Amino acid sequence: MVAQMQKEGTAGFKPHVLTTAIVNLFEGITVSRLDPKVVEALNMEEILRDHDGNLVVAYRPAMKGFGALIVDCAFTKLYCNWDDAGSARFVKNCACVLAVDLQSPNAQPEAFEADSSDDTAGAVRSSCATVPWSVLCAH
């Protein structure tokens, strides 16, 4: 389990719309990690580093013709520890971000202070986008 990152490149998660309302986050049982140089070259944002400081979650916002992308190397948070330390909230936040067109002129993503409730009000405010399969599966 990690908390908000205190120093760049160390264990923890960065403040981001994906980590809205999260105080602690189960990092999963990491089976792989991302190369920070590749993440940077692909214009992705670092989101989470595991307890050893390995980069395990990165995000790239929607770009012209392509939807947003989230890469999470710790898949175990999805099947064996769903309710551990912020995992459910993190997955819900990811789903919201992927379902919303944050590039539209009227989008206003707003983070709010973490609390103990599971209320999603105010996490992301935007209109939902319809994304055709041809965009999702573009080569």
What confidence tens digit (pLDDT) does each residue in 11-58 have? 999 999 999 999 988 877 766 889 999 999 999 999 999 989 999 999
How far apart (Å, rounded) are the C-alpha atoms in residues 119 and 54? 31
The residue with greater pLDDT, 83 or 107, is 83
Structural contact between residues 98 and 70, judged by C-beta atoms closer than 8 angstroms: yes
Task: Report the chain's mean pLDDT, rounded to a whole number.
Answer: 74
Q: What is the pLDDT of residue 81?
A: 64
Q: What is the pLDDT of residue 30?
A: 62
Structural contact between residues 36 and 55, judged by C-beta atoms closer than 8 angstroms: yes
In this prediction the pTM is 0.70
How far apart (Å, rounded) are the C-alpha atoms in residues 85 and 66? 31
How far apart (Å, rounded) are the C-alpha atoms in residues 62 and 38? 18
